[in-house]
Amino acid sequence: MTGYGSSERIDSGIRVLVELRSVNNRFAEISVKLPRQLLSFELEVRELIRTNFQRGKISAFIQLQLEEAEQLPLTVNQAKVSGYKELLETVRKQAGIETPVTLDHLLRFSEIFETDHSILERPDEIWPIARQTILEAIESLKEMRRKEGEELAGDFTQRISEIEQTLRLIREIASDNLETIRKRLSSKIVAIAGRDVEYSRDRLEMELVMAAERLDITEECIRFNSHNKFFIEELNNSASGSGRKLNFLLQEQLREANTIASKSQNADISQKVVHIKEELEKVREQLQNIE
């Protein structure tokens, strides 16, 4: 499922920024981009994400920044100051310049100043802050994916309702199948043997019974409706991940649709089964993204 989640936290003079992006994927595929200080915690970051998401291609971006208040204090590298001063004195003497070395000359060398980045060199202190920020970003991504899931659930419910209406029409058409078969067999007998030839009505009735058993789709329609019911129930079940179970139910629905089409031998029923399969295919495409 697609989604975006982010979080930002400031603690101990460090700003931690976390961004999570998710796109559709049948499996959980996680990529992580970490700052140098947190490279040793890559497995922990992946595990945090993997335990919360079962599907989706998820990209995690984590950044560390020093707060401005922490960036302002500077320290002077006394060794470099002395070194540059001696170097400038040597140049002045060799060049025969009478003007003494001044502070302005030394300030041209920015290397004499150093920013205290020591806090960024303690990853064990940074990780608890980063971990909490990652968890907050995960919750943000979950919320966005949940909203998308609600939209998909509404679409699925509507399609299943339409499928059930089509099934009712199929059963109505199928109820006239026996009479259609009777007329078809009688017409064939008349066409082959002629109107004046006598035939066994008992044998005809037996053939009708056997044909009715072969073409009866009542059981398939009942199972199909049962799968629809379980599909809606699982769709509304937020207690656990439903994607794989819904995918299994969809396979069973497709199986029943194919059986109905092959058994009915009725053009109208076959046409309606095609419509059912179109709706199921639209559901299947989206189900690959549902957890």
User: pLDDT tier at 70 (50, 70, 90 boundaries)?
Assistant: very low
User: Are 264 and 216 in contact, with CB atoms under 8 Å apart?
Assistant: no
Half-sphere exposure of 261 (CA within 13 A, CB side): 14
Q: Which amino acid is at 128?
A: P
Q: Name the token pair of 184.
A: 């078809």
What 8-state DSSP symbol labels residue 112? G
- State the pTM of this model: 0.60
Task: Give the pLDDT score at 72.
Answer: 46
Q: Which amino acid is at 209?
A: V
Half-sphere exposure of 229 (CA within 13 A, CB side): 6
CA distance 241 to 291: 5
Which secondary structure element, helix H or strand E, spans residue 29, and what is its range? strand 28-33
**Residue the block writes with tokens 């299947």:** 284
The domain limits of the chain are 74-115, 148-287
Nearest to 288 by CA among 251, 238, 240, 237: 251
CA distance 120 to 136: 22
Least confident of 81-90, 118-127, 179-188: 179-188
Task: Give the pLDDT score at 181.
Answer: 66
Q: Write down the mean pLDDT value for the chain.
A: 82
